[in-house]
A = this chain, B = another copy of it.
Amino acid sequence: MNQPQQLIHTWVNFSKFHKRITHSLDYFLQQKYHLGLSEFYFMMFLNENSEKQLRLSQLQNMIGLSQSALSRLVSRLEQHHLKPVERASYAEDKRSVYAVLTPSGQKHINEIMNEVNNVLQQSLSEKDISNLKLFAE
């Protein structure tokens, strides 16, 4: 077992950590809101925009999903019982479709973000949190 392969094991442990937290968040969102993590992120990004709407193609880069995955994500959110997101298109460019965070969506995403934050706090040690911040650059 030579030196280099240590890096792989470091990576594997790192991935396990990531997976553990991801599952915590996903489980919480699924149980309480019937939302997946990607859907939550999606609503977060929309909410950060002052107009509460963005073109699908813009969101694609932010959220790191394929174009088709994003299109279907919006479809799911349109069907969701909270009706948090709607599609809209404008005459300026009829190719584009905007995802719009509805008033209901805006109300809920703020609440959800606070709760997700709590789940994070509970899932992470102080040490974890300070380690995490090293990557946030």
Contact mask A10-21 → B, CB, 8 Å, 1/0?
Answer: 111111111101
User: What residues of chain B lie closer than 8 Å to A22, measured between beta carbons?
Assistant: 15
- Using A131-B131, A134-B131 as known contacts, say yes or no to A116 and B16 having CB atoms under 8 A apart: no
User: What residues of chain B lie closer than 8 Å to A12, measured between beta carbons?
Assistant: 41, 44
The oligomer's copy count stands at 2
A135 within 8 A of B: yes
User: What residues of chain B lie closer than 8 Å to A88, measured between beta carbons?
Assistant: none
Interface residues of A, dominant DSSP: helix
Smallest CB–CB gap between A61 and chain B, Å? 11
**A residues near B, CB below 8 A?**
4-5, 7-19, 21-22, 41, 44, 64, 113-114, 116-118, 120-121, 129, 131-137
